[in-house]
Structure formats: C-alpha cells, structure tokens
Amino acid sequence: MKKILVTGGAGFIGSHLCERLLEAGHEVVSLDNYFTGSKKNIVHLMDNPYFEVIRHDVTMPFFIEVDEIYNLACPASPIHYQYNAIKTVKTSVMGAINMLGLAKRIKAKVLQASTSEVYGDPKIHPQTEDYWGHVNPIGERACYDEGKRVAETLFINYHRQNDVRIKIARIFNTYGPRMHPHDGRVVSNFIVQALNGEDITIFGDGQQTRSFQYVDDLVDALLLLMNTEDDFIGPVNLGNPDEFTIMELANKVIELTGSNSQLIFNPLPSDDPMQRQPDISLAKKQLGWEPEIRLEEGLKKTIVYFDQLLSSS
Ligand code: NAD
Ligand code: UDP
C-alpha cells in the first residue's frame, strides 16, 4: 500500500484517479481548492478510511509524507483558466514549484498533468513529443499554455539538478462523467445542450479538429506511467488518436441523444488550435498502452451520466 497525493483530486480527472488508486488498495489524499472541482465528485469515496480530503491551494506550500504525487491541480477549460489568467499561471508555476519542492524533500515520485496545449496551434500533424510547439505567449490561452510549459521546464530541471523522480504526461482532450455541466469544454457543452434541446454552439465553422479520449483510458495510462522505471520520465503523449472535426462531434451527439437541437455558429475564440491529434507511438512502446474506448462508446456513457445529472437537478 502506497500513500499517494492527488492535487486537483476533486476535479473531473482527479476524482477518477482517486477512485482507481483506492480500488488498487492505496491510501489517497485529495488536495483541492474547489475552483472548478467539487466535493460531489468524491463524496462517494469519503466513507473509505484510506481516503483523506484536504482543502488547500497549490500556490501555497504544503507538507505531507507520501510516496507519490499526481499534480493535476489547474483549471483545464478555456473559460475557467481565462477567468483569472494570473491565477492560472500561479497555479501551474507555483503549484509545480511547491509539489517539486515537496517531492525533493520527501523523496517522492511526482507526475505532472501537462497538456497537448504545449504544442499550441500545431504546425506539424500528428503531434510527436519532440515537437516544440507553436504558442502565442501573449494570447488569451497563454496563461494556460505557457504556465504548463514552464511547469514542464521546472519538472525537468528539478530532475536534472536534484534527481527528483518525475513523469510528464501530455494529456490530449479527455472527456467523460463528472465533467462539470457548465465546464465549457466542447463535449460537455454539446451533450448538455442536446439533452436540454438547446442550440448547439459551434465555434467557427466547426472544421477544426480534436482527438477525444475517454477518461478511463487516460487513468489507465497515468497509472502505468507512474509505475514505469525511473529512467523513463517522458514527456509522453496520452490521447486517443481518432480525430474528428467539431462538426462531426456535434452531429454524433445529436444522433446519440436523439435531440432536436439546431446547430448555431459563434465566433471562433482567438488562438483556437485548428487541428490536434496525438502520435502515441511512445506511449505504446513505453507503457504498452493504447486507448480502448471509441468515441461513440465513450459518448454514450457520458450522455447517460449527464442525463441522470440533469434529470435529478
Ligand atoms: P478540472 O477543472 O475538472 O480539475 C482541476 C482541479 O484542480 C479542480 O478540482 C480544481 O478545483 C483544482 N484546482 C484548480 N486550481 C487549484 C489550485 N490553485 N489549488 C488546488 N486545486 C486547484 O479539470 P480536469 O479536466 O480534471 O484536468 C485535470 C488536470 O489535467 C489539469 O491539470 C489539466 O490541465 C490537465 N489536462 C486535462 C485535459 C482534459 O482534456 N481534461 C487535457 C490536458 C490536460
Ligand atoms: N468548441 C465549440 N463549441 C463549444 C465549446 C468548444 O465549438 O461550445 C470548440 C472550441 O472552439 C475548440 C474545440 O471545440 O475548437 C475544443 O474546445 P475545448 O474547450 O473543449 O478544448 P480545447 O480548445 O482546449 O482543446
């Protein structure tokens, strides 16, 4: 049994990760300031005596004795990370410094939830880990993209200078149950709009692409990554390479929900990446992993979740 800290443990991905770590028999501490996460996501775990819940902000130092740290604390949806851009930079950068300093002191292994956003609006396709990216440092998305890029820099330098055992996961668009209904990301937006019979908001012409990964596949990969040999540190792309236009996603959601919703077209937000698809050769080789859940299957599970959530509220 290991003692494991999950920052952002009450968020969408963090809550699934806490659940899986507890199922595997570990002692888990969730640290969260509930900016975008919610106790509702973890309330079903709170009876477990091996689960501890702490309200804390990762921008402030934190002391605990653990074997492993998963650093997930950071708003991930553009509307939320742009709400307070300075705070988003602080969360990524000071959060990384605090978690790396902690890992250094207590000799814990630490995994960073990085992102495909480090590639920005990519000029090579699909994206491989050796691509340095195409990011606007002063754009609307920079607080998140550059914050996560600096976090990677901090991780690699704590490793080089202080021998901290690190893992860097570059996570591509992930969806599933426990996304917040007003999270603002495309999958949850479209499903909630379709179930409510509201207009489906396509930004731009809907020809931009994303590759959507179901949350269970991601959690499998994060657990495998944390348990790789110490000499494998990443960064490693974790995503589902099946690529869809946003228009295709909208039509798929309408079909699966049987909704009468209409498509409406809103302006494309600035610096919105035009295409995104992970090359997952490295993850296949190093983790022996590839995603198993196809978009249609994952969407069906997510629709069931939101249907129950909306009908109970
Ligand atoms: P989320 O917003 O549901 O979860 C983030 C969690 O971090 C929330 O519980 C939030 O309250 C918490 N948090 C935010 N700021 C904090 C702070 N200063 N101190 C403590 N807690 C704080 O988002 P998610 O989709 O679960 O994302 C989790 C992580 O994965 C993030 O680091 C995100 O950047 C990364 N990621 C997610 C995706 C995706 O598609 N979901 C893609 C790439 C990377
Ligand atoms: N998007 C959209 N309608 C929405 C929300 C998002 O068309 O209601 C588009 C958005 O412009 C982007 C894509 O869907 O091109 C994915 O957006 P999301 O915020 O989910 O993730 P990210 O842009 O960070 O990949």
pLDDT digits (tens, 9 = 90+) for 8-41: 999 999 999 999 999 999 999 999 999 999 999 9
Ligand 2 pocket test, pick from 203, 212, 249, 275 with the greatest ligand atom count within 8 Å of Cβ, gives: 203
Ligand 1 atom at shortest distance from the alpha carbon of 80? 2
Structural domain includes residue 39: yes
CATH of the domain at 38: 3.40.50.720
Structural domain includes residue 97: yes
Residue 61 has pLDDT above 80, yes or no: yes
Predicted pLDDT at 23:
98
What are the start-end ranges of the E strands in the chain?
3-7, 27-32, 51-55, 68-71, 109-115, 166-171, 174-175, 200-203, 209-211, 213-214, 236-238, 243-245, 263-266
Q: Please state, rounded to an integer, the average pLDDT across all residues of the chain.
A: 97
Structural domain includes residue 268: no
Q: How many CB atoms within 10 Å of residue 246?
A: 21
Residue nearest to atom 4 of ligand 2 (CA): 186
Residue among 81, 119, 144, 175 flagged as catalytic: 144
Q: State how far the Cα of 192 lies from the Cα of 110, in Å rounded to an integer.
A: 35
Ligand 1 atom at shortest distance from the alpha carbon of 75? 2
Is pTM beyond 0.75? Reply is yes
Ligand 1 neighbourhood includes 115 CB (under 6 angstroms): yes
For 163-206, where are the alpha helices, taking DSSP H only?
186-195
Ligand 2 neighbourhood includes 189 CB (under 6 angstroms): yes
Ligand 1 atom at shortest distance from the alpha carbon of 9? 9
Structural domain includes residue 199: no
CA of residue 242 to ligand 2 center, whole Å: 16
Predicted pLDDT at 186:
97
Residue 274 has pLDDT above 90, yes or no: yes
Residue 192 has pLDDT above 80, yes or no: yes
The pairing of strands 209-211 and 243-245 is antiparallel
Ligand 1 neighbourhood includes 232 CB (under 6 angstroms): no
Which ligand sits closest to the CA of 174?
1
Predicted pLDDT at 270:
92
Structural domain includes residue 135: yes
Confidence band for 313, pLDDT divided at 50, 70 and 90: confident
Cβ-based burial of 131 (10 A; exposed 0-12, middle 13-18, buried ≥19): middle
Give the domain extent around 137: 3-175+212-240+278-292
CA of residue 262 to ligand 1 center, whole Å: 31
Structural domain includes residue 119: yes
Confidence band for 52, pLDDT divided at 50, 70 and 90: very high
Total domains, the chain: 1
Structural domain includes residue 258: no
Which ligand sits closest to the CA of 8?
1
Residue 81 annotated among the catalytic residues of the structure: no
Q: What is the DSSP letter of 117?
A: G
Structural domain includes residue 303: no
Ligand 2 neighbourhood includes 269 CB (under 6 angstroms): yes
Which ligand sits closest to the CA of 38?
1
Whether residue 138 contacts residue 205, with contact meaning beta carbons closer than 8 Å, is answered with no
Rounded to the nearest 10°, the torsion over CA 177, 181, 186, 189 is 130
Ligand 2 atom at shortest distance from the alpha carbon of 78? 19
